[in-house]
Structure 1
Amino acid sequence: MRDALLALPRETLMPQAYARRSAPDEPPRWELLDWARTDDREELLGLLHSGESVSIQHEGEPILGRAAGARAGGAMTAMSSTMGMTADLLQRLDLRRGHRVLDIGTGAGVTAAVACFVSGHDGVVTLDIDRHVSEAAQARLMALGYRPAVVTGDGLASWPELGPYDRIFVSFAVPRVPPALVAQLAPGGRALLTLGTSSPSWPGLALITRAPTGVVEAELVAVEFGHRGGAGFDRLFLSATFRKRIATCEGGRTRRSRLEPPADTDRGMWLALDHLHPGLVRNFSADDLTIGAPRCGSWMRARRVGHRHWEVTAVGPRDIWAEIHDVADHWRAAGSPHSYRLQIDADGAQRVTSRCGALSWTLTDVSHTHTGAAGEPDPHSEKGASHAR
């Protein structure tokens, strides 16, 4: 799978891509680089092989035939996820020759190209909600000699016309497993998708299988990186104003604590926190443990001040430090799980439970808004982007 990705001529699938020309806290400005322009090639190749996600569409624009140059304002609406994360997920997907594959969230067509290479293009369907994305991907996949079925539609409704599928891959986060995808999973099949709340901080990877007998089993694994929410998905973020407020400790109250916060690698705990106390976003770029609740304005920052001593500064109605330790206690009592059983009932109910049953929560849909602190629009609103620390 990794060999297929490495051999993929990325400049053919992404002959144009956006380079950001503004700092994160400045009004966004981008430059659309174009492989057809000799002066752009070195920078474009660096972008495509940087290991970061690659922006390929601005404000829902047509992709084919567009002019290179500057763009300002708005947001990126389609991206190609980081190659490292894509490679890891495709390894888990375990594509085989002859598999019928449904790739949801076409983007630049990278996953579709790998699926065609491994499984044969006759059984591959790639689906995107944006017709401009679909049209561009189809043209560029054909340039590589691949002819999957490229369709435009709502991926959460699946594409039953050519199902059922042996493998289903979703390249954007959803709040719960879409029932239509489970229904289209063939006996012996496997599906992978990121399950998340409105926070981008602690994603979970859902692995769903259907046994040859037809029985569906699913697992939710806490992971470091996952896809971001797609079109219409609720996204929380810490705005520049909010982060500045935390940095200057405006109105903060400080106390000492002997409690040790969970390690970053205790991902099963952070995943549980995200669902049991939703609405939290971590600032991974901060030197100290910094978490905010944008909707109510609460935040906390914890820094070590000696052996087993922590200085905790907090503001707002939520006691985030207490919420963390409440979940951490329950998580340890449940055996410190890294993964959870995901139960998908015939009536549509979905519940996540630790193996011993001591820690659990129900998956629900989230509201489809795009607000962060103080109701500001999300400047990082990007379809199919990967969450990266």
Structure 2
Amino acid sequence: MAKRTYSVREYQAEVAALLPALPVAVTPLAGCRGLVLAEDLVAAVSLPPFDNSAMDGYAVRAADVAGAPVALPVADDIPAGRTAVRPLEPGTAHRIMTGAPLPPGADAVVQVELTDGGTEVVTVNSAVPVGRHLRMVGEDVVAGTVVLSAGTVLGPPQLGLAAAVGAAALPVRRRPRVLVLSTGSELVEPGRELEFGQIHESNSVLIAAGVEEVGGVAEVLRFVPDDVEEFRSVVAARAGTADVLVTSGGVSAGAYEVVKDALTGRGVEFVRVLVQPGGPQGSGLVDGLPVVAFPGNPVSAALSFELFLRPALLGALGHRSVDRPRARARAAAAMTSPAGRVQYRRGRHDSGSVEVVPVGGPGSHLLASFAASNCLIEIPEDVTEVPEGAEVDVVLLD
């Protein structure tokens, strides 16, 4: 029976459907970086929560220093953290530190550089207007307002804001648990000496790094030989322990295609996607475990992750946008592409440049050129020749 054929967009939807939205868990702030807020965060307190000084200096009534230079008795010291502050009497000053509460009656702060720094009597050398160097309650955030909306990706500034309004934990979609399994009896762990006919296994490292970059937790399973029954036993043993199993290798049309042989008829469909590289693909459910099967050539596996699994994981995490940013640029060299398939060539596109430079050829084994690239050049299925200088779509990876 002929394999089903999918466009890139159609197959992206197939993989995304395997990974529904992940459960929401209230998570301490330290574990939230890079995750997506599942519910609006309402400020429990205002920022600032009280009127305070923006400078080290002296809290005064502006009218009392209008005729500067003037000397004022220093009636109190107010360090940051003071919880009880006595009012400022007319004709006096309170020495005050940055962030300390403004005493009732004060309407300005004179920075210490405009004074002689006195501790009992201070000479103020310059007049200041009402409101100078003050941070007023609610100036930044008013209690009861939404400060972070659902769908916000939580980076350092957002987590800092959450802490500032009193949130110790946030409701986020939990990190996806991804099992990564590379098949092939020819594979050898990096660091071991190779014998003739062997290669170092790199796909699981590449895929696991991609999973963790988007906020997932990857567990690498090493190594499963080209044995159907052993492969099936590994998959069966891990059903229910992860959100998705990702395999690489064993999905093409040749002999010893262990993933295809083990999972055909068991819930995984092996199909052809109109893309180069990465045409042979597989996906489905095995004992309730979502399985996504990539080709084994390193660039095919890398591109398959970029096109199919990365956006699915981001969607399950609650991201509003799951696509890489794009740009238009002029090709710095001519390229060819097979008819009927979208080709993704590796390239470099520097910020501000109008050109994109192809890096390496189209081969699915050219991992060094992929590592030297910062973008993908997308050539549509109806284009077979791209002349030098032609405008092309560029998918930005950095």
TM-score where L is the length of structure 2? 0.24
Structure number with the bigger relative contact order (C-alpha 8 A, sep ≥ 6) is 2
Compare the two structures and name the one with the higher helix fraction: 1
Give the greater-gyration-radius structure (CA): 2
